Chains A and B, each alone.
Chain A
Amino acid sequence: MQEIVLNARTVAIVGLSASELRASNFVGYYLQRHGYRIIPVNPNEEHVLGEQVYPSLRDVPEHIDVVDVFRDPAAVPEIAREAVEVGAGALWLQFGVISAEGARIARDGRLAVVMDRCLKVEHARLLGRMHWMGFDTGVIAGSRR
């Protein structure tokens, strides 16, 4: 999980909402601020967070490191098949997006899989900022870095 967060450059966000109040928009905005290139995937939008939106992963014209999913769990197996097809590096399923079948499809397609976790939270855990809000990061160390 740590490697995915640290090595990814391009993150396709499936189900990225244009509404600033939705969790997907929070995460997309946050990832942009921290230097990731985000690619919105949503059949109902044209531009979100200043980026061109694509209707599906198959339409994205560049390599995707992480497919980050904010969709109903029932939609995940199809998204996983598309992620395998386009040669994405990892499938990341956000809080509550739990699909054993989707995870299996992605793993069979040699994608790394993270499920029921928030990409923003895991990034903040590594960066140390999650700690500022009194959350348990699980980091135990007496060394400087």
Chain B
Amino acid sequence: MDEVQREFGFHTRAVHAGQRPDPYTGASATPIYQTAGFVFEDTESASAYFNLQEYGNVYSRIMNPTVAAFEERLANLEGGVGAVAFASGLAAQAALFFALLEPGDRIAVAKALYGGSTAQLNHLARKLQITVDWVDMDDAEGWRRAVTAETKALFAETIANPGGNVLDIELAAAVAHEVGAPLVVDNTFATPYLCRPLEWGADLIVHSATKFIVGNGTTIAGAVVDSGTFDWSNGRFPSIAEPSSAYHGLRFHETFGVYGLLMKLRSETLRDFGAVLAPFNAFLLLLGLESLAVRMDRHVANALAVAEWLRAQPGVSAVRHPALADSPYRPLVDRYLPAGAGSVFSFDLESGREGGRRFIEALSLWSHLANVGDTKSLVIHPASTTHRQLSDEELAASGVAPGTVRLSVGLEDVDDLVWDLERGLHAARGSAVVA
């Protein structure tokens, strides 16, 4: 009965998934459908599309063929049934939590988290009247202690920003499923090339595609990928399983099955939020995904080489790269990230806040900026930038030391990167002597 379908490899799918040559022109690259609306064939078609009785292009705030090609390619690489793209990673997260949570619900979230996500969750908690239970993801019992009968989702990053903590995905998924909640994983730092959390039991993936996915620092973008395996009709998710007032009583999960949450996220949440990805940005993201695998191999090799060099240098007190042999996360890296633990990590200067400032000022090749996952190597010193207003004690509470520096290692020659870092370290040590 079913014809045997070839299982294509990751590199092949990264280049082809979501897109075929244009049937009308033969164009090999994905056309950029720079249009707001789409002309209906007839009135019957128009009403079928609006009622969701048939998949059809209506309006680019809800769907667009160039954006769809990116969504399908990302979903394919993560092993999901589909994806919905958003204007940014934070927009994707906000939309997903908005779709999942009701006032009074709780969400268990790893404390080791991107600061922007922490701030967003605190705001959502106030505005939506939900409660965030913060979890120490390094504690094997942390998730189990945090979940309650009201917990509607668990959320963590595969590799935490900036601490480099690695999530035990199977453990978190097991706890989530015991209480009938989905595990949501931010897979930004790993990308689907280094880790596919859905294969380890996670239910939903969120991405800041601004980082390694586009790969060159040109584009702000985000996405939600769904495994399609979570049972939204388990009695805990009325907004997905029960009749929707926005679609004349349509039950998303019953009607669309494994695509239920994605249909709701697109035709209700994205429609209402309007945080849509532009077609041109989707085009750049498609180009990015084509070379994701080859870029990530070099990112990983460069980052590990820089980390190993750094920890042999005077004036450096700690290097937190999860793949280093003596990292507490090395067993989890071996299990979940065998091809590498990405290229973003932090280290501490003994010379503290002032040393960090001198270090940054002495660098000429590394770019001092607030992004990661670029082809170019990037550096930031939280104590003099993002966390500048905090005292040393407040810094420590947020897991950042006065001398902590975060690196995002790019694709340059390692010798050149090390040459520049050596100049920075020299300047940092000088400041320590002066002080």
Contact = CB atoms under 8 A, between A and B. Distances in A.
Interface string B56-87: 11000001010111011001100011111100
A114 B23 CA distance: 29
Nearest to B20: A141
A138 interface: yes
B12 A33 contact: no
Interface in A106-145: 112-114, 118, 121, 124, 129-145
A134 B262 CA distance: 9
A129 B63 contact: no
A138 B44 contact: no
A131 B81 CA distance: 11
B429 to A, nearest CB: 51
Given A2-B3, A21-B249, A134-B266, A144 B56 contact: no
Contacts of A2: 3
B7 to A, nearest CB: 10
Contacts of B72: 131, 134-137
B18 interface: yes
A121 B259 contact: yes
Contact of B84 (A95, A124, A134, A145): A134
Contact of B44 (A33, A130, A132): A33
A128 to B, nearest CB: 8
Interface string B225-250: 00000000000000000010000111
A113 B1 CA distance: 7
B257 interface: yes
Nearest to B17: A140
Interface stretch (A8-16, A22-30, A58-66, A78-86): A22-30
A143 B21 contact: yes
Interface in B1-25: 1-3, 5-6, 8, 12-13, 16-18, 20-21, 23
A100 interface: no
Contact of B259 (A112, A132, A135): A135
Interface of A: 1-2, 20-23, 26, 29-30, 33, 95-96, 112-114, 118, 121, 124, 129-145
